[in-house]
Amino acid sequence: MVAVDTTFPPGRGYGAFASLVEPMLHEAGLAAQRVTVPEDLWRVPRGPAAGERVNVVAECVDADPGLPRCSLYFHVDTVCAAPGWQRDPFRLTEEGGRLYGLGTADMKGAIAAALAALRAARRSGVRLAYAPQLLLCTDEEGGLYPGIRYLGETGHVAGHLLNFNGSAEARIWGGCFGSFNLLVTVTGFAAHAADAGRSGRPGVNAIEAALPMMQAVQDLRPAIAARISALPVRAGQAPLAAQIAITTAAGGTCGGQVPDRFAFQVSRRYAPEEDFAAARAEIEAALTAAAPAGAEVAVDLVGHLIPTADPEGPHSPRWNRARAEGFGYRIEDFAKWGAASGSDSGYLQRAGILREVQLGGLIRPTSNAHGAEEHTTRDDLVALARSILCYLAADFEPALNPDPIPNR
């Protein structure tokens, strides 16, 4: 899975990833279908996304009829490989029990753990408490229309959701911020760097035109950072605050030419207490006020994840107990905190499809998810597989299961 390039942007590898995992899903007793997000929902003409948005929905063929449903969510896209990798990010490399590769912790490793759990359950004849379905989704890493949103709106999400885009720590998820990305494209006029340009028309340097707009974004930072959320935080952590940053910038062709195009991306993380439309309008107003004469400016929304409200629900005690069994935690180790990072689960809540989302995964503070040398460990892969197997097994903590299991 690591070897298949599913980096977003642009996200061209989703079809190849589906072709890779379909036989694996079949081996684990799952029947897979592809669900593609229509292009008109996600494409932005100047945006970075390209290629088919192929999601995979896999249903368990061995589950008893009448079992309650449980959706296991994974996103298959990764961020782009960060500078600083000493190993090939698209080749799984094991050293000293650590498994290095892009997506090992966030979150292809979690897919491997779930497949291992389901293969073990099928091989051993484990009676299931739920009919599990796996949702392998696109465009979580900043896309405009994430795959899970489309799957929810088209009736492919059932029961409560286990989201594996989270931590291997003893954490109870308390919800998270929303995030959006604005692509600012500045168009000038190309000319020779030493003269007035074609037909006497002066060149308009798109990079220099963008500088005051980029400064305007920086000038917003103190006021935005002062907006504090009431989301719970882990012990000793400062309250969560809104954020703004310039995360990409590109333009120009060569040293002898006035550059006619420059684009930069503004990333905004907004608290659940904030309004998305107001947050976006604040940035666009600052950009408009700072734009110099002579340059054309276009601002496109190219990515958006809405906040996720407190997702705790009736299945939380059993999920916590399963993770305690898998990872060796004590129940008293578990604590609840939110995050300034985004999640695509909020779309399911907003649509009224579900409210409860249980979070788990392989990410640790030391795993360097989204950075160079991202890794997980064999121990954590086994621990997560054990957690999933416990949770799905009918004979695991039946008193904590809020759903009735039909007689076999």
Residue 196 confidence (pLDDT): 46
CA–CA–CA angle 350, 319, 408 (5° rounding)? 100
**Residue 300, SS3?**
strand
Residue 258 confidence (pLDDT): 81
Token pair in block for residue 61: 């063929």
Classify residue 407: in a domain, yes or no. no
213 and 279 inside one domain: yes
Lowest mean pLDDT among 182-186, 204-208, 390-394: 204-208
pLDDT in tens, 129-171: 999 999 999 999 988 999 999 999 999 998 999 999 999 999 9
Q: How far apart are CA 29 and CA 10, in angstroms?
A: 32
Residue 200 confidence (pLDDT): 54
Classify residue 406: in a domain, yes or no. no
**Residue 274, SS3?**
coil
Q: How far apart are CA 132 and CA 69, in angstroms?
A: 6
217 and 156 inside one domain: no
Q: 82 versus 256: which is more confidently predicted?
A: 82
What one-letter code names the amino acid at 268? R
Are 140 and 150 contacting, i.e. CB atoms less than 8 angstroms apart? no
Classify residue 314: in a domain, yes or no. yes
- Number of domains forming the structure of the chain: 2
- Closest by Cα among 181, 246, 243 to 48: 181
pLDDT in tens, 340-391: 999 999 999 999 999 999 999 999 999 999 999 999 999 999 999 999 999 9
236 and 319 inside one domain: no
How far, CA to CA in Å, does 123 sit from each of 20, 29, 119, 372? Answer: 22, 10, 6, 37
Query: What single-letter DSSP state applies at residue 308?
Result: B
Q: How far apart are CA 394 and CA 322, in angstroms?
A: 12
186 and 264 inside one domain: yes
**Which pLDDT band, with edges at 50, 70 and 90, does 189 fall under?**
confident
Classify residue 79: in a domain, yes or no. yes
Domain-ending residue, one of 257, 290, 305: 305
Residue 221: HSE in the Cβ half-sphere, 13 Å Cα cutoff: 11
* CA of residue 387 relative to chain centroid, distance: 22
Are 141 and 108 contacting, i.e. CB atoms less than 8 angstroms apart? no
Classify residue 97: in a domain, yes or no. yes
172 and 321 inside one domain: yes
Domain-ending residue, one of 305, 328, 358: 305
Q: Is the pLDDT of residue 199 over 60?
A: no
Q: Could you tell me the CATH number of the domain that includes residue 118? A: 3.40.630.10
Q: What is the mean pLDDT of residues 22-36?
A: 97
Mean pLDDT, the chain, whole residue set: 94
**Residue 378, SS3?**
helix
Domain-ending residue, one of 271, 305, 339: 305
Q: What is the mean pLDDT of residues 203-220?
A: 93
Phi, psi of 107 (to 5 degrees): -145, 35
- Evaluated on CA atoms 369, 375, 379, 381, the torsion sign reads positive
314 and 170 inside one domain: yes
Q: What is the 3-state secondary structure (H, E, C) of 213-264?
A: HHHHHHHHHHHHHCCECCCCCCCCCCCCECEEEEEEEEECCCCCEECCEEEE
- Evaluated on CA atoms 323, 327, 333, 338, the torsion sign reads negative
Parent domain of 45: 14-176+308-400
Are 90 and 60 contacting, i.e. CB atoms less than 8 angstroms apart? no
Residue 65 confidence (pLDDT): 82
DSSP of 58-124, one letter per residue?
EEESSSPTTPPEEEEEEE--BPPPPTT-SS-TTS-EEETTEEESTTTTTTHHHHHHHHHHHHHHHHH
pLDDT in tens, 295-334: 899 999 999 999 999 999 999 999 999 999 999 999 999 9
- Closest by Cα among 38, 24, 124 to 74: 24
Q: How far apart are CA 13 and CA 11, in angstroms?
A: 6
Classify residue 321: in a domain, yes or no. yes
312 and 299 inside one domain: no
Residue 405 confidence (pLDDT): 74
* CA of residue 43 relative to chain centroid, distance: 18
How far, CA to CA in Å, does 221 sit from each of 230, 269, 270, 294, 310? Answer: 20, 11, 12, 27, 27
Residue 203 confidence (pLDDT): 67
List of residues 6+ apart from 322 with CB closer than 8 A = 387, 388, 390, 391, 396, 397
Q: Is the pLDDT of residue 408 over 90?
A: no
- Closest by Cα among 275, 271, 203 to 232: 271
Q: Which residues pair with 257 in a beta bridge?
A: 192
Q: Is the pLDDT of residue 197 over 50?
A: no
